Amino acid sequence: MEKLKEFFAVAFGFVRQTKDSYEAGTRFMRIRVWIVALLALDAIATIAFVLVAGTRAINVDVWFEPAFPSNYLVVRNQEGPLSNATLVLDKMYRLDVERIEPGLNGYEVSRAFRDAHDSSPPDSYKPKQLEIHLGSSSYELAVGDKKSGS
């Protein structure tokens, strides 16, 4: 906390010094003010870009499809390939996927997904929610029935 106070004191001291220099009217000090203003504008634009780019949505549909011998979780990816994804069912069962290709992708629920103890879900398990983790981004999707997914 003390270092933060010190940082703000130095930063505001620099701004005050720049303002005083600008009011003194020397040509070089006015250039200094414009440089500081451009750097501040660049910092604000960078922060805004990071916030906007980090909130993108993905165009993916997910549904559960009962099948024999194993039930499937179907992921329909309607955008480009999604690399290094982690799929998490109901915050319990996890599957690391190297790449989710565009189109339909099927994952066997009882064979592919594992919990923290390396156990698979029971055959009667029907997931309600899927989280897709891509790098630092996370997306939560409701798992629908086959009728609503196709």
Query: If pLDDT is split at 50, 70 and 90, which confidence band does 147 have?
Result: low
- DSSP E strand boundaries for the chain: 60-65, 72-77, 82-89, 93-100, 103-108, 129-134, 137-142
**Number of other CB atoms surrounding residue 51 within 10 Å:** 9
> pTM value?
0.59
Q: What are 13-43's pLDDT values in tens digits?
A: 877 776 776 677 677 777 877 888 898 899 8
- What pLDDT is attached to residue 146? 67
The answer to whether the CB of 143 falls within 8 A of the CB of 73 is yes
Q: What's the whole-number mean pLDDT along residues 72-81?
A: 90
